[in-house]
Structure 1
């Protein structure tokens, strides 16, 4: 598997443009990048020095530990007091100005300092971590002279255009973030409403469960009362049968004295009068 991309290196006056075709070959550590010099252009109006990729180092190696675009001034002159700018397409990678290095917003903590080699004219770009988004077109700009009015206006127009593009992109990003926040708030609101409905449903279910338990308890008490009543009725019935049997037994006894029978008969008649 391979990924082809380009690296464009130039200075502010277009005095040297080196177009390298890069290929990333998968390897044990994420692959490295080999470069082939395709063409070179020089500015006929200014040839004091050139900004080139070394003939002996036409490789921008990249693995999980970093990414390097070798580039130096020719002849080998000091770049300590120059202004060096590195761009990846429209993004500023880093800016070296007034002997201070400023990293771009997207490259904070990812640019290896090259101020110690500027004395030798080495302005190579080195990133401490390689990311998939690092693949693309890179531009190196060097400033070491006073521009004429036409160049200044052109640079101002380019800068203004870049700022407008960045502003538009930032606006789009903010709008997208706002849309995401709105969508997230809507989802949170729906989730909150769903939770409220679920809580209400749960509360109603618990109330119904309590009602059912109360009814079951009342039913159990009624069943217990009914069982006790049935037992009492059975006991009364049994007592009644026992009494009835006793009365029948009294009526059927043969050896009862006649005087007692007459007494019972006489007492019964008096009572009925």
Structure 2
């Protein structure tokens, strides 16, 4: 680390759990952030400011005026611009040392697996079940830890799915893809602005802990937040031996559905 980096990251380096070694791990890491909206905004802001060396920011949408109530990565001048590129500009202003690759595309199939394979940690900041399941499948196949968050109305949830651990469930253990779930969108249900900030900040925290190799992750636990009552609920989640994604009978199957 050079003198400028030692100064920039001094408040991390002062933490015994992180120190020079942990900060060096962050600087050498590559985070894949899928979604540059409500959750992706605080995720990307904190990863960049904390010194994650490379961030790939993926979003196929453009900035809309309705986004600005909560998507703090963007501003009024950028309405109509691709979210990934707007986010890249914001992150460059905060920490120009971080290499940010902006991709305006919808990830699927081999392209998704290719990007997951090249990452140290994946942060799912998407807003629909099909994308979440595709990301989970890619993370299980390629043995890359996944930090997953969701927020709607006043309700948020966050967990970590770490396929490197034999005891860690995957997203499909919790929400089996063969079951039908009702899709709820911010556009129709609404979302409390700071809620995505709370959940997204926690996603960033879990990702930084995973990369630095410190603390205990949320693997095996699902945290639920009721922001109206500001009450947290922690639920233990176990790996499902019969899971269609990470179960023993399925894991050796076709990795690219």
TM-score category by the smaller chain? under 0.3
TM-score (norm 1): 0.27
Give the structure with the larger strand fraction.
Answer: 1
TM-score (norm 2): 0.28
Give the structure with the larger helix fraction.
Answer: 1
Larger Rg over CA atoms: 1
